[in-house]
Chain A
Amino acid sequence: MTQQAALPVGAMPRPERRREVVPRDERWLGLAFAAPVVLLMAALVFVPLGLTLWDSLHRVDPMRPGTPFIGLQHYIDLMSDTNVRQAWLNTVAYVIIAVVLETLGGLGAALLLQRIRVGRRWLLAAVILPWALPPVVNAIVWMWIYNPSYGLLDGALLRFGLISAPRVWFNYRATALFLVSLVHVWRMMPLTAVILLAALQSVPRELYEAAKLDGAGPVQAFMHVTLPLIAGGLAIALSQSTVFAFNLFDEAWILGGSSLDTRTVVAQVYMSAFQNLHFSYGMALSVLVMVASCLVSLVYVMRVYRETRYG
């Protein structure tokens, strides 16, 4: 019986077809191990989340008396708010740029780290360094780099003759969006790299050797051996970068202020709830941010798991 009990390995747990008798001590031990996690998350995330959801159905505006129930009114208003729409478009752009660059860059960095033998520790430390910089300092460092008069970017471009006069890159929406994303990618890419490195590290070396014996080239070995085995890590990394890009705030706020060219949805949440004091309106928008990033992540997770052997 114990032999049978040690089952499902599936990444996305599936309901077991056959109803097995789970030993009682296993059930209790499982509950005991999971209980602290569940209790903590319930108290500090689920209950507050529920309260906010409830608030978003009311008009909670400290400047007006009472908190009448207004149903989905905030959500309907959000649909027709032009600033909100613009902020969503910006956020979608950030998410696409950030997820693509972070995943490719992070995977590249992880593969490189896997391969390098000498000084791997130091290279990893160097790769992680950007992430250690507090976000606010990070944005200020880059603000200094992007400074049209004294910055490194224009200085370097001028020196190499790529531009003839300093450019104000933030005067163009496309470059402004890209430059803000770049700051975010620079800071968050290490996270993807660490997650993927951890996944790569757990691929047994024998599998590569087996693939090599089968005559597989490096690309084939990667596609057929590495990729399926790090699928779990990849799903985590993709979801992470998506969620963080949806929540992008500091970089855009410090580099662009409330400029509509770079304003993100979370910046809009901040402005609605904390600057304009339309508290529950801002909370309704933040709920939508959560739903959107959750849905997008779910798409990856499902896809990644389906396309690999776990499917």
Chain B
Amino acid sequence: MNMRKVFLASVAVFLMAGWGPAMADDAKPYAGQTITVLFPPWTTLPKDMTDRFTAQTGIKLDLQTLGWDDIRTKIVTSMVAGSAPADVTEVDWSWVGQFGAAQWYVPLDNSVKSDLPTDAIFTYDGKLIALPYNNDFRLLIFNQDHLKKAGVDHAPTTPDDLLADAKAIKAKGIVSFPIGLPFSATEGSATAWYLLTKAFGGELFDKDFKPLFTTPDSAGYKALAWEMQALKDGLIDPASTGLKDVEIQELFKNGQISFDVAGWAGNLSVYTDPTKSKVASAAVGALMPNVSGKTRTFGLPGAAGIPVASQHKEAAAVFVKWMVAPENQIESYTVLGNLPTRTSVLQTLDNDGKLASGKVLLEQAGSVEPLFKQGTPGWYPQFSSAVATALNQAAKGQLTVDDAVKQIAVGATDAQK
């Protein structure tokens, strides 16, 4: 099995140079082939789009959807068994280290690099293993009505401002727990802490992956202390120990919290939609607060990649490339709410006034950096669940801030073994 894996991995598939429908119209070299595509539910491409793809390329699509955690189980099972889960699958930014090290995905060639800044996140060992089609990064989303009622006229720019504003909102009795942050032992809790670590001006690891968050003057330590302080001051619901990020978002939509601290960029379109949200007119985005005067955030994009065991690599490559063509990114945004990954497409959408809080979104998009400068390491998932577990324990009062960061550091060392 391993021999086969190495052999297949060495067969690099290069995307053709041309982009957009023009090239598809010229020739349909893979007409008649059918490729299977495995995506999460939020990328269930509408029939119009898949029909158009087939018309342009002659390639038929067999679109499969699986729940989020389940896609990964499916990919791992089939790849370990030496067969392809599908010809094209979702590749999350957090899987890059593992799937890259395992050489499970065909290296791709990206000819629009400058327009797709997030492709760095999907580069492992110099090879691009998937092409990002679904943009995601974190920013602060807040309820401006709550803030106004509390007598505050601008968005908080530092973490301390945020605490002060939340206290003012709580004091006025506008909502009982103004700050929304998840503390369940799930991935969303961990990513919120990473974001706050950036907000406090630091990094998680140095270049040798040694933890940088263990001393009280470090950004990671301060970020955790900040979260615990907010919890202790009653600014965060103690029930957050059981809440996932999606449930925090429900609270925001219902107007029960004022700040979605680790808000998802793509969610602004949901929050401002009156059919989905009770706070549609009040929800606005703001640059992530910070201590240095320069806003920072990190990217968590989704991408499409081609497993090495795929039998239709060339046809699959045509599809992957098609996913990032401008008109498809725009349609994917308007129909599914998937934020485009191409800077030029974001710009176009904003010019057309289709982007909620567009100016902020674009500015924050410009500040997106990868969580790990070296690229997502293979041990990231193990580290991340250690983080989520420790945060959950700290929020339940089972660990002090000091013990929690130490436990996370131990988790990091274990994961790297």
Q: CB atoms of A and B under 8 A apart anywhere in the complex?
A: yes
Contact A275 B382 (CB under 8 A): yes
> Whole-angstrom distance from the CB of A217 to the nearest CB of chain B?
49
Complex Cα gap A63–B5 (Å):
12
Mask, B157-184, CB within 8 Å of A = 1, is: 0000000000000000000000000001
Contact B242 A258 (CB under 8 A): no
* 8 Å CB interface, A171-193 against B: 171-172
Contact A259 B415 (CB under 8 A): no
Contact A258 B185 (CB under 8 A): yes
> Whole-angstrom distance from the CB of A97 to the nearest CB of chain B?
20
Interface of A is mostly: loop
Complex Cα gap A270–B381 (Å):
12
Which of B25-33, B54-62, B199-207, B389-397 participates in binding chain A? B389-397
* Chain B residue contacts of A63, Cβ below 8 A: 98, 101-102, 378
Complex Cα gap A149–B248 (Å):
13
Please tell me if A276 contacts chain B, counting CB pairs below 8 Å: yes
B72, B79, B396: which has the most chain A beta carbons within 10 Å? Answer: B396
Contact A258 B80 (CB under 8 A): no
Contact B239 A148 (CB under 8 A): yes
Given A66-B2, A260-B393: A274 and B378 interface contact (C-beta under 8 Å)? no
> Whole-angstrom distance from the CB of B375 to the nearest CB of chain A?
14
> Whole-angstrom distance from the CB of A237 to the nearest CB of chain B?
31
Please tell me if B238 contacts chain A, counting CB pairs below 8 Å: yes
* Chain B residue contacts of A60, Cβ below 8 A: 80
Partner of B80, one of A147, A257, A275, A279: A279
> Whole-angstrom distance from the CB of A208 to the nearest CB of chain B?
49
* Chain A residue contacts of B8, Cβ below 8 A: none
Please tell me if A170 contacts chain B, counting CB pairs below 8 Å: yes
> Whole-angstrom distance from the CB of B286 to the nearest CB of chain A?
26
* Chain B residue contacts of A220, Cβ below 8 A: none
Given A259-B185, A259-B389, A259-B392: A65 and B2 interface contact (C-beta under 8 Å)? yes
Complex Cα gap A147–B396 (Å):
16
Interface size class of B (residues with CB under 8 A): 20 to 34
Contact B389 A149 (CB under 8 A): no
* 8 Å CB interface, B17-60 against A: none
Interface size class of A (residues with CB under 8 A): 20 to 34
Given A274-B72, A274-B76, A276-B381: A258 and B388 interface contact (C-beta under 8 Å)? yes
Please tell me if A256 contacts chain B, counting CB pairs below 8 Å: yes
Given A63-B98, A171-B396, A276-B381: A257 and B239 interface contact (C-beta under 8 Å)? no
Please tell me if A271 contacts chain B, counting CB pairs below 8 Å: yes
Contact B80 A170 (CB under 8 A): no
Residue in A closest to B184 when the chains form the complex, CB atoms: A257
Residue in A closest to B256 when the chains form the complex, CB atoms: A149
Partner of A168, one of B98, B239, B388, B415: B239
Contact B186 A258 (CB under 8 A): yes
Contact A170 B73 (CB under 8 A): no
Mask, A222-249, CB within 8 Å of B = 1, is: 0000000000000000000000000000
* Chain B residue contacts of A166, Cβ below 8 A: 239
Complex Cα gap A62–B203 (Å):
29
* 8 Å CB interface, B373-414 against A: 378-379, 381-382, 385, 388-389, 392-393, 396-397
* Chain A residue contacts of B244, Cβ below 8 A: 257
> Whole-angstrom distance from the CB of A262 to the nearest CB of chain B?
8
Please tell me if A67 contacts chain B, counting CB pairs below 8 Å: yes
Contact A62 B104 (CB under 8 A): yes
Mask, A261-305, CB within 8 Å of B = 1, is: 100000000110111110100000000000000000000000000
Given A260-B185, A276-B415: A168 and B241 interface contact (C-beta under 8 Å)? yes
Contact A277 B98 (CB under 8 A): yes
Given A171-B241, A274-B72: A258 and B2 interface contact (C-beta under 8 Å)? no
Mask, A63-79, CB within 8 Å of B = 1, is: 11111000000000000
> Whole-angstrom distance from the CB of A196 to the nearest CB of chain B?
35
> Whole-angstrom distance from the CB of A35 to the nearest CB of chain B?
28
* Chain B residue contacts of A271, Cβ below 8 A: 382, 385
Contact A257 B2 (CB under 8 A): no
Complex Cα gap A173–B73 (Å):
28
Contact B185 A257 (CB under 8 A): yes
* Chain B residue contacts of A67, Cβ below 8 A: 2
Contact A277 B73 (CB under 8 A): no
Contact A256 B185 (CB under 8 A): yes
Given A168-B239, A170-B242, A258-B385: A276 and B80 interface contact (C-beta under 8 Å)? no
> Whole-angstrom distance from the CB of B201 to the nearest CB of chain A?
29
Mask, B347-370, CB within 8 Å of A = 1, is: 000000000000000000000000
* Chain B residue contacts of A259, Cβ below 8 A: 184-185, 389, 392-393
A148, A170, A171, A257: which has the most chain B beta carbons within 10 Å? Answer: A257
Contact A149 B185 (CB under 8 A): no
Complex Cα gap A114–B73 (Å):
44
> Whole-angstrom distance from the CB of B74 to the nearest CB of chain A?
10
Complex Cα gap A309–B317 (Å):
69
* Chain B residue contacts of A258, Cβ below 8 A: 185-186, 385, 388-389
Contact A275 B241 (CB under 8 A): no
> Whole-angstrom distance from the CB of A286 to the nearest CB of chain B?
14
Contact A170 B388 (CB under 8 A): no
B76, B80, B239: which has the most chain A beta carbons within 10 Å? Answer: B239
> Whole-angstrom distance from the CB of B408 to the nearest CB of chain A?
13
Residue in B closest to A276 when the chains form the complex, CB atoms: B382
Complex Cα gap A279–B77 (Å):
10
Contact A277 B102 (CB under 8 A): yes
Contact B76 A257 (CB under 8 A): no
Contact B242 A168 (CB under 8 A): yes
Complex Cα gap A172–B392 (Å):
12
* Chain A residue contacts of B185, Cβ below 8 A: 256-260
Q: List 10 A-B contacts (CB under 8 A).
A: A67-B2, A149-B237, A166-B239, A256-B184, A259-B389, A259-B392, A271-B382, A274-B72, A276-B379, A277-B98
Shortest 9 CB-CB distances between A and B: which pairs? A259-B185, A62-B102, A63-B101, A257-B185, A276-B382, A148-B239, A257-B186, A258-B185, A171-B396
Additional 10 contacts, C-beta under 8 A, given A259-B184, A274-B77:
A62-B98, A63-B98, A67-B2, A146-B242, A168-B241, A172-B396, A257-B184, A257-B392, A259-B389, A274-B76
Residues of B within 8 A of A (CB): 2, 72-73, 76-77, 79-80, 98, 101-102, 104, 184-186, 237-239, 241-242, 244, 378-379, 381-382, 385, 388-389, 392-393, 396-397, 415
